[in-house]
Structure 1
Amino acid sequence: MYCIFISVDLKPGARARYLELIAENARASVENEPGCHTFDVLADREDENRVYLYEVYDSPDALQAHKETEHYLRDRAQINELINKQQVLRADVLTFCPARG
């Protein structure tokens, strides 16, 4: 499996709207995309303008399919306007604990 971990630095005052949009995107991704297994949204405990996204897909192709979905494309421009900068870490998932089906 394939994972991306994204550190997102938001523009001041953008947190509430970003969280609203990304929560809907995360929910739709897990519910409607067979290749998306996990889409977690995490808040930094020390910086209120930093959030993290932890996403697990079957493969890089499944991530690309995610980027072509209606829910992703619908909100992408709004989400991009709320972001100051982001950094993406890409990794292969070796083990889920506990194991998932």
Structure 2
Amino acid sequence: MKAGISLSLSLALSCSAVAQDKNLSLPPVFTLFELVIKQDKNIAFERLADKNMTASVREEPGTLAMYSTSKKAAPSTVYLFEIYADSDAYQKHIASSPYKDFLRNASDVLDLSQKRRIDVIPQFLADKKITQNDDMINNFVIVDVKPECERAFRHIVLPEMAQSIQREEDVLAMYAAIDKAHPTRWYFYEIYASEDAYQAHRLTPHFKEYIEQTADMTTDKQAIAIKPEKIMNKGGLIYKAE
């Protein structure tokens, strides 16, 4: 998996050390957390997360994206998606004052007994600079692939994602990762500018070909309806694991 990794970054913040230095450590770090907010603590959590995320993305060159989303069917269930340029950038983040402040207050708003980190290996990460608005659509999909089809699935889905981010203006982010403990389980997190943009994406030839070609390659597909709460990134990330 690690033998053929390519990474390029073109970040919008010209003052960022990451934007100036293309010789980055590999691979990037992609973290995925599932959290449960205590009863009547949603607003308090949103304020705490907003403070940490805003400071981290703005002030830490290696913190490339932080997304907080809630489950539509159960708003107290939160999914956090975070991307760091490399392991050093991630270590700097968890040593930072904003993150330490978040940890100090987390027990007041979160049921830590239900905190779950899903260890993943990034396969494709690509995004554009995002300005959050009410029209934005977020998708979170978990796909289990037949073991004998994993290689073929990879060679179909990764080019499809690349075409989507390159050809479709309103496809804002396409991220894919595999479960470290279960390598045939894929996690997809996608951001679209609007519902119209998402529906237009579903009508593209490359998406239709992906659906047709992988129809018999999976054993399970779970689409988790989520709502974006706090969305921040630097933009311009392109990463593909070969």
- Scaled by the length of structure 2, the TM-score of the pair is 0.39
> Quick one: higher RCO (CA 8 Å, sep 6+), 1 or 2?
1
Identify which of 153, 176, 179 aligns with 1:44: 179
Q: Which residue number in structure 1 is paired with residue 84 of structure 2? A: none
1:1-101 to structure 2, matched below 5 A, reads: 1-98=136-233
Find the structure with the greater CA-based Rg: 2
Q: Distance in 1 between matches of 2:176 and 2:234?
A: 21
CA RMSD of the aligned region, Å? 1.7
Q: CA deviation at 1:12?
A: 2.1
SS of alignment partner, residue 174 of structure 2: strand
Q: How many angstroms does 1:7 deviate by?
A: 0.4
Matched residues, percent identical? Answer: 24
CA distance in 2: counterparts of 1:75 and 1:91, whole angstroms: 23
Q: Deviations over 1:8-33 (max 9, x none)?
A: 01112111111111101100110111
SS at match of 1:64: helix
Aligned residues: 101
In structure 2, distance between residues paired with 1:99 and 1:52: 22
Distance 2:159 2:234 in 1: 26
Question: Which whole-Å CA distance do the structure 1 matches of 2:221 and 2:159 have between them?
Answer: 19
- How far is the alpha carbon of 1:77 from its aligned partner? 1.2
Deviation at 1:80, TM superposition (A): 1.5
1:61 CA drift (Å):
2.1
Q: Give 1:99 deviation, angstroms.
A: 5.4
Q: Distance between the aligned counterparts of 1:9 and 1:17, measured in 2?
A: 14
Q: Give the SS at the match of 1:97.
A: strand
Runs (5+) with no aligned partner, structure 2? 1-135, 236-242
Mark the runs of 5 or more structure 1 residues left unpaired by the alignment: none
Letter in 1 for 2:194: S
Q: CA deviation at 1:90?
A: 2.2
CA drift of 1:49 comes to 1.4
- Helix, strand or coil at the partner of 2:215: helix
